[in-house]
Structure 1
Amino acid sequence: MSARTAPSHPPRLAPFLAAYDALLARWPVPVEPLTVRTAHGTTRVNACGPADGHPLVLLHGGGATSTMWYANAGAWAEAGHRVLAIDLIGDPGRSVHDGTALGDVPGLLGWLDAVLDQLGVPTADFCGHSYGGWIALEYTLHAPTRVSRLALLDPTQCFAGYRPGYLLRALPLFLPRRTPARARNYLDWEAAGDPHTDPDWRELYALGYADFPASPVITGPHPTPTRLRTLTTPLLTLYAEHSRAHDPHHTADATRRTVPHATVTTIPGASHHNLPMTAAPEVNQHILNFLTPPRP
């Protein structure tokens, strides 16, 4: 593992970084901040749980930062898992994309290879939310021997595409003149007025969207059914009943068809972004029931 001095950030990011640290401080277990150097830059990993526990790699959704796991990481760490919550490089967070460009999907997966190598993690359980779910699935198809079990939380672009209406609503996020208000409006629309959206996380997301240096988003189409049928890793997918990113019922059916061994569940009352947070009791228990048992 590498735990070097954290890289510096531009002064304008001070409010974002303060909000990041405040949300991280809400994790109910001690957190060990690790900084891992790769050719692409410095990657922040928020680690917790016993050092000899089976690793559980967490990949957050786009713009959400690894702090989004505040309602989940404690339960998984206290059950004996070594939680490794990664800030995606090039995304808002405490990772710094100050090295070579990722370039494409193989570059993104190679960066994750390098992070795990530096952490000394040959195999791990993986859990990804939204865009992080797509990365986790692509990584499992790329390096199946490194992934013990795969859990996906309302993953996008994995088993079906986006709803056209969602893409139209998200389009303004990619236009110039980024403002926190634009991000807040988007989150509020997607949550369909869910009063349980965490205000601290909502503000962190908005600040990161408006102020964090943008890097090209590395993405691609959802894997073909032929590729998905090669997946032998145990798979759990949890869909949000009120997700606006995709039709959760259609996507759940597509998951069952293409990966018959998958365990597929829809969480009532949950929206896409809020699933890990507002539905934490259900999500945490589903994940714990599924994960590789920790070492005695």
Structure 2
Amino acid sequence: MHARSQAQSSSQSPAAAGEALGAFDAVYDTLIARWGVPVEAIDVPSRFGTTRLNACGPRDAPPLVLLHGGRSNSASWYANAAALSRSRRVYAPDTIGDPGRSPNTGQPVRTRQDLLDWLTHLLNALEIQRADVCGHSFGAWLALAHTLRAPRGSIGRLALLDPTQCFAGFAPACLWHALPGMLRPARGDDAYLRWETRGAEFDPDWLALHRLSATVPTGKIIAGRRPKQSALQALDVPVLVLLAERSRVHNVDTVAKRASRTLPNVTVDTLPAVSHHMIPFAQPETLNRKLTEFFTSAG
């Protein structure tokens, strides 16, 4: 379940914590190298701390902001960044306080509004006046919540990859299986991943980074809240809701029906034989084609 979570690293000795952070950084850099295109690391200060963005693609191309899922970071776009950056200037931040390179060292991020303020500041600091946005899981909630509050015309198109807490709540079975990892995050959540993905094979580098994320101190848990139906009905931005057919975090049919019923300009599609956690990289050619067609289509 992609909710922002707090790692418990207080039991680690300084030497062990340093070793874990070094291992995390090494795998993070490995996945960034696998983007397969020149990547520019950009650090943006704010009152919450310094945000790391990884950017690629032509500088004069229309901007596309990628928002990863919770307990993750921008390195997770390793299967998508190169394809998307052919027609867009991609900006992929590590969400503040998640296990990446954007530590919440300033004002604590305690509320949803804090997180939205962080994202607004980030886009303003980059002088991005209009952008397309794509988010996965909790990142999809963040993308949608930001779009609903953003000035009219500042968001061109919005893609939501198996979005959580946008159109339906978490499935009770998902919460039950995720609970042990949330209560004892330093032990990781391999059992939950095996359950949610039905034992699918993960990319070894991604899995290593995911496991090491449990050793990196992170911020306070922030849960998404479903937007009001009236707000969704008033959204005039073109939206692509791309669902994972085998997702176990929510009822996919319910999400599809509610998105179709409430959003006035929406395309709902499903990526077959893919779970929630694996949607960014399980079928990258298909996903990247669908996203590219959506972001480059007219109207």
In the superposition, the TM-score normalised over structure 1's length comes to: 0.91
Shift of 1:203: 1.2
Establish whether residue 131 from structure 1 lines up as the match of residue 161 from structure 2.
no
Separation of aligned partners in 1, 2:51 and 2:212:
20
Separation of aligned partners in 2, 1:161 and 1:199:
30
* 1:188-233: CA deviation from partner (whole Å, max 9, x where unpaired): 22111122x2111011011102x11131122232112122112111
8 Å contact 2:236–2:264 — kept in the other structure? no
Separation of aligned partners in 2, 1:192 and 1:144:
41
Compared CA separation, residues 148 and 193, structure 1 to 2 (3 A): same
Separation of aligned partners in 1, 2:207 and 2:194:
9
8 Å contact 1:125–1:292 — kept in the other structure? no
Q: Aligned pairs, how many? A: 281
8 Å contact 2:69–2:140 — kept in the other structure? yes
Establish whether residue 32 from structure 1 lines up as the match of residue 62 from structure 2.
no
Instruction: Report what 2:5 is aligned to.
Output: none
Establish whether residue 188 from structure 1 lines up as the match of residue 221 from structure 2.
no
Of 258, 261, 266, which residue of structure 1 is paired with 2:262?
A: 258
Which stretch shows the higher mean deviation, 185-194 or 109-118?
A: 185-194
Shift of 1:266: 0.8
Separation of aligned partners in 1, 2:238 and 2:24:
37
Establish whether residue 285 from structure 1 lines up as the match of residue 289 from structure 2.
yes
Of 59, 77, 88, which residue of structure 2 is paired with 1:81?
A: 88
Following superposition of structure 1 onto structure 2, how do residues 57-136 of structure 1 map, counting pairs within 5 Å?
A: 57-78=65-86, 80-136=87-143
8 Å contact 1:59–1:129 — kept in the other structure? yes
Shift of 1:244: 0.5
Instruction: Report what 1:243 is aligned to.
Output: 247
Partner letter of residue 185 of structure 1? A
| Residue aligned with 1:193, SS | coil
Compared CA separation, residues 177 and 265, structure 1 to 2 (3 A): closer
* 1:118-159: CA deviation from partner (whole Å, max 9, x where unpaired): 111111000000000000000000104321110000010001
Instruction: Report what 1:201 is aligned to.
Output: 206
Shift of 1:293: 6.3
Separation of aligned partners in 2, 1:149 and 1:261:
10
Instruction: Report what 1:224 is aligned to.
Output: 228
Separation of aligned partners in 2, 1:280 and 1:89:
26
Unmatched segments (≥5 aa) in structure 1: 1-8
Compared CA separation, residues 257 and 293, structure 1 to 2 (3 A): closer
Compared CA separation, residues 177 and 119, structure 1 to 2 (3 A): closer
Of 180, 184, 191, which residue of structure 2 is paired with 1:172?
A: 180
8 Å contact 1:36–1:115 — kept in the other structure? yes
Shift of 1:288: 0.7
Separation of aligned partners in 2, 1:24 and 1:191:
24
| Residue aligned with 2:135, SS | strand
Of 134, 137, 158, which residue of structure 1 is paired with 2:166?
A: 158
Partner letter of residue 169 of structure 1? H
| Residue aligned with 2:219, SS | coil
Of 271, 274, 278, which residue of structure 1 is paired with 2:278?
A: 274
Compared CA separation, residues 10 and 113, structure 1 to 2 (3 A): farther
Separation of aligned partners in 2, 1:282 and 1:114:
33
Partner letter of residue 44 of structure 2? V
In the superposition, the TM-score normalised over structure 2's length comes to: 0.90
| Residue aligned with 1:100, SS | coil
8 Å contact 1:191–1:272 — kept in the other structure? yes
8 Å contact 2:34–2:78 — kept in the other structure? yes
Separation of aligned partners in 1, 2:43 and 2:290:
30
Instruction: Report what 1:5 is aligned to.
Output: none
Partner letter of residue 59 of structure 2? A
8 Å contact 1:144–1:233 — kept in the other structure? no
Shift of 1:166: 0.2
Partner letter of residue 93 of structure 2? I
Identity rate, percent? 46
Unmatched segments (≥5 aa) in structure 2: 1-16
Shift of 1:176: 3.4
Separation of aligned partners in 2, 1:292 and 1:97:
35
